[in-house]
Structure 1
């Protein structure tokens, strides 16, 4: 027994240092656990406050009502989106233009052909022919990139330009 007490007295500073480090580690664990407990306690208090406003069935009923309202709004948005999608397919998205000189005795490229097409290549081609004494404007319907009326080379070129690019 005397040997044991001698060993302890000779290494007292080391033992105290070891126990001090162990105490600091224990204090750190206590602080971590206390922080987690406080967060859990705050969450618990929020749940309790919610339950105090009504019983669980009232809360579930309110949640189901809100869920149904959100579902109805989502259905309305889907209908509106489908409507916009259908409308957007018929909107003019492709434009092609060609300026040219229709008559050799008139200067500049004052004549033009403009193709206005939707996503299905349906639309119109407008042509304005400028002459010294008069100007003529023509409109021809376009279906799937073709017209049932004869097209000039400039009108075909305007349609092809429109097909290659979108607004």
Structure 2
């Protein structure tokens, strides 16, 4: 087949069967691309329909504005919670967190270890030591000693030292 157009393009002696094969391959490639595009379009269409769920543009806009408003409220509440946690942590530092209790028999004759030394300390090892001595006459005598930075300002008995050491050795939970 001899064509002026083919001669002009420089393919005048080309067998037309090659052109048909090339056109057929091109059509197959385009068909595959069309199928792939259609599958992707269906997935996108499903996502779009799920997103819209029968909503009109105005109701969708209202929904988005509502979400932004909710987001602002959540951020505000989150900031308030963060400040509250900081405040709670500051307050916790001043609460008694370390405890030491030593029970003992004050006069080695009453039995039952009815006397005790109780030490309560905060995070900075400040607090007090309470000693309750059960007397032989059945009366309890209680007194306290101040503790600053883990040290007493007066001399401690052996039981009081044990209670203080127990409190200093305990950790906050």
Q: Normalised by the shorter chain, which TM-score bucket?
A: 0.5 to 0.7
Q: Given the two structures, how large is their TM-score scaled by the length of structure 1?
A: 0.67
Shift of 1:116: 1.2
Q: Is the 8 A contact 2:101 2:163 kept in 1?
A: yes
How many residues matched?
A: 139
- The match for 1:132 is 136
2:147 corresponds to which residue? 142
Q: How big is the shift at 1:110?
A: 1.9
2:111 to 107, 112, 117: 107
Which one has a bigger Cα radius of gyration? Answer: 2
With the length of structure 2 as denominator, give the TM-score of the two structures: 0.65
State the Cα distance separating 1:67 from its structure 2 match. Answer: 2.5
Structure with greater proportional helix content: 1
Aligned CA-pair RMSD = 3.0
Once the two structures are superposed, what CA deviation does each residue of 1:31-78 show, in whole Å capped at 9, x if it has no partner?
Answer: x87665433212112344587242886565444323321221111101
Change (3 A) 1:56 1:105: closer
Secondary structure, aligned partner of 1:43: helix
Comparing 89-98 with 76-85, which one deviates more in the overlay? 89-98
For the residues of structure 2 that align with 1:48 and 1:136, how far apart are their CA atoms?
A: 78
Partner of 1:153: 158
User: Secondary structure of 1:142's partner?
Assistant: strand
The superposition leaves residues 97-153 of structure 1 with CA deviations (integer Å, 9 ceiling, x where unpaired) of: 111222234334221101111221122211111121132011222221122233222
Secondary structure of 2:136 counterpart: coil
